[in-house]
Amino acid sequence: MADTEYGRRAMIGSAEEFVRLRSSSEPVEYRRAAHEEASLEVWLQVIDEYPDFRRWVAHNKTIPLEVLDLHAGDEDAMVRYTVASTRKVSDRILRSLAADPDEAVRMRVACHPKASAVTLRLLQHDSWDEARKVVRDRLGA
């Protein structure tokens, strides 16, 4: 969480606040939407009540793995792509995204530093040559 000017930690308190911060043209507010924590309840409320902001929820650096797990099965390929690009994503989630119907999502999995050899091997016979090449290079095969 970010420190406020009074030394206490800032936290996004509601779905409405997250949407306001993310929609703001003020860089400091926009950054808050990407870096401040919120409760699991707030994240789930954003997803439920503001579906157009699902991708931006996944962009938040403090997002709980439960939300990333939920987003890994999202109908929107851009949301799944964002999950596959997230630094804190688990290999278990990457493994599930290795079978994604969207080639860009699978490529993000192939390039992700946390993708284990087991996960990468799932992509060895991918339908996209570029993804297969990345996997070959990463596995040293």
Instruction: Report the 10 Å Cβ neighbour count for 129.
Output: 8
The model's pLDDT over 45-101, given as tens digits with 9 standing for 90+, comes to 999 999 999 999 999 999 999 999 999 999 999 999 999 999 999 999 999 999 999
In angstroms, the CA 79 to CA 102 distance is 11
CA-to-CA distance for 53 and 14, rounded, in angstroms? 13
| Tokens at 103, concatenated | 């080639």
Mean pLDDT, residues 109-134 taken together:
98
Residues in the chain: 141
pLDDT at 9: 64
**pTM surpassing 0.85?**
yes
Confidence of residue 138 (pLDDT cuts 50, 70, 90): very high
Residue with tokens 């990333």: 68
Write down the pLDDT at residue 10: 83
Angle of helix 129-139 relative to helix 103-111, nearest 10 degrees? 10
In order of 60, 97, 106, 131, 139, the CA distances from 136 in angstroms are 31, 18, 14, 9, 5
Alpha helices by DSSP H, listed for the chain, are 15-23, 27-35, 40-49, 54-59, 65-71, 77-85, 91-97, 103-111, 117-122, 129-139
